[in-house]
Amino acid sequence: MSAKRRLSAPALHGPDYPLVLVIAALLAFGLIMVYSASVVTAYTSFRSQYYYLFKQSISAGVGLAAMVVLMRFDYQYLRLVSLPGLLASMGMLAMVLLPGLGTEAYGAQRWIQLFGFQVQPSEFTKVTLTIYMAHWLTEKREQVRDFAYGFIPFTILLAIVVGLLLKQPDMGTAFVIVLTATSVFFAAGAHPLQLAILVATVVIAVVPLIRFAPYRLERFLAFLDPWAKPLASGYHVVQALLAFGAGGLTGAGLGVGRQKFLYLPFPHTDSIFAVIGEELGLVGSVSVIALFLFFAYRGLRVSWYAPDQFGRLLAAGITFGIAFQAMINMGVLTSTLPFTGITLPFISYGGSSLITTLASCGVLLNISRQTVHPDARSQSNPRGYFWRRYRRPHLPGFGRGQRLAGRAG
């Protein structure tokens, strides 16, 4: 199906308003926390306590504008630019590694200067790869389960993108991309054996990545016992745990936290969830988790009732990408996962991250404006979308032609 010709053209209706509300809540809460977490760093570095809040507000404005435009822009046309967009973002990933073009900070080279702005290409790659994967897997249809035409091209493309990210290095984003792409691949109908091989390959590849990179090995050992070296490799995790411990049940109070006074590294970016834990306590932390869970529920609901396969995969990819990134960030700071630097979507400071996240939400909301009504969907297909996809082909009445016809609907 081309972007200009649909097999079905559902009438437009309002977006998923609960999804709009949870996006607005996360964004507003993020601006409040960016100010609270950055006030000390902003004043000591720039003599203005509003420095990071001002920049984040500008990014929020740009991101909201992009979200509104994309919410009204038919997502089908993204198929036309899926490959050029992916190639452009991969080219930017390669540019980051070139001397004189990439900007290095804290031992990582992840940014480039573009039109006077500092841009992190990996954030855009997460979006462009999701769009391309949704388009490519939609075109593959039954060939997704074929090793030569489905699994091998998928793994080669994923390996190229992950390889560019690991050269920066940016292992956190690499993990998010692997999890997101694998989820989309599974939603497209990949064979369980393919997924098992992919998971085994990732696990095997992680071992040398940790073993032969001293800083990664130190981080893994710090994950096992952060208190063994509380002033060295375990410092970041220890300070985050101290922040959570100081917050208790209800927190020390918004703006009253002490760990952001140059104790907790990167309080307004990677560590902002620890600031939330200290200032708003367990209640605030659980509330943030609940908001992300609700976002994931509404996003997957949009995917479930999307009018076509491309919309289903695209909505699932966007939702999984944001949810996985949030899960990794919160898992790292609570010492549930090995340490890796990654921001908390909607909430952490970062222009590239916030703009791309809100733009992705615009696409998700556009899909929600074209969803098939749940009642109509249940009447036409009582068992649902995943039953159509994973039903056993040798059962009576489940022939190849009927499966393809079911997917087209």
Same structural domain for residues 275 and 407? Answer: no
Give the pLDDT band (50/70/90) at residue 395.
very low
Q: Is the residue at 239 inside a domain?
A: yes
Indicate the residue among 326, 345, 364 that finishes a domain.
345
Q: Is the residue at 272 inside a domain?
A: yes
Q: Is the residue at 136 inside a domain?
A: yes
Average pLDDT rounded to a whole number, residues 100-107? 68
Distances (CA, A) of 296 to 267, 291, 293, 303, 305: 25, 9, 5, 10, 14
What pLDDT shows up at residue 6? Answer: 47
Same structural domain for residues 202 and 281? Answer: yes
Same structural domain for residues 309 and 391? Answer: no
Domain with 404, as residue range(s), is 373-409
Task: State the Cα angle at 137 between 399 and 203, rounded to 5°.
Answer: 110
Indicate the residue among 292, 326, 345 that finishes a domain.
345
Same structural domain for residues 227 and 105? Answer: yes
Same structural domain for residues 111 and 197? Answer: yes
Least confident stretch, 14-18, 125-129, 158-162, 392-396 = 392-396
Indicate the residue among 295, 325, 345 that finishes a domain.
345
Q: Is the residue at 23 inside a domain?
A: no
Average pLDDT rounded to a whole number, residues 89-93? 90
Mean pLDDT for the chain overall: 84
Residue 360 scores a pLDDT above 60: yes
- Reply yes or no: is the peptide bond before residue 169 cis, omega within 30 of 0: yes
Q: Is the residue at 114 inside a domain?
A: yes
Q: Letter for the amino acid at 95?
A: M
Average pLDDT rounded to a whole number, residues 150-178? 89
Q: Is the residue at 113 inside a domain?
A: yes
Residue 398 scores a pLDDT above 60: no
Q: Name the residue with higher pLDDT: 345 or 396.
A: 345
Q: Name the residue with higher pLDDT: 88 or 142.
A: 88
Same structural domain for residues 382 and 268? Answer: no
Per the CB < 8 A criterion, the answer to whether 309 and 184 are in contact is no
Same structural domain for residues 382 and 247? Answer: no
Per the CB < 8 A criterion, the answer to whether 302 and 367 are in contact is yes
| Alpha-carbon gap, residue 296 to 318, rounded angstroms | 10
Same structural domain for residues 389 and 272? Answer: no
What pLDDT shows up at residue 145? Answer: 82
Distances (CA, A) of 166 to 26, 69, 91, 177, 330: 30, 33, 15, 12, 21
| Alpha-carbon gap, residue 201 to 102, rounded angstroms | 30
Same structural domain for residues 116 and 239? Answer: yes
| Alpha-carbon gap, residue 321 to 309, rounded angstroms | 18
Q: Name the residue with higher pLDDT: 401 or 130.
A: 130
Q: What's the distance, CA 105 to chain centroid?
A: 22
Residue 403 scores a pLDDT above 50: no
| Alpha-carbon gap, residue 260 to 275, rounded angstroms | 7
What 3-state DSSP class applies to 265?
coil
Side-chain-side CA neighbours of 295 within 13 Å: the count stands at 31
Per the CB < 8 A criterion, the answer to whether 275 and 259 are in contact is yes
| Alpha-carbon gap, residue 395 to 26, rounded angstroms | 46
What pLDDT shows up at residue 18? Answer: 95
- Beta-bridge mates of residue 104: 109
Same structural domain for residues 287 and 390? Answer: no
Give residue-wise pLDDT tens across range 65-87.
Answer: 999 999 999 999 999 999 999 99
Give residue-wise pLDDT tens across range 323-343.
Answer: 999 999 999 999 888 888 889
Q: How would you label 312-333 residue by residue, b for 16+ Cβ within 10 Å and e otherwise? A: bbbbbbbbbbbbbbbbbbbbbb
Q: What's the distance, CA 117 to chain centroid?
A: 22
Same structural domain for residues 145 and 262? Answer: yes
Q: Indicate the number of domains in the chain.
A: 2
Same structural domain for residues 299 and 400? Answer: no
Element holding 40 (H helix, E strand): helix 17-46
Q: Is the residue at 58 inside a domain?
A: no
Residue 384 scores a pLDDT above 60: no
Residue 106 scores a pLDDT above 70: no
Per the CB < 8 A criterion, the answer to whether 222 and 229 are in contact is yes
Q: Is the residue at 169 inside a domain?
A: yes
| Alpha-carbon gap, residue 396 to 67, rounded angstroms | 46
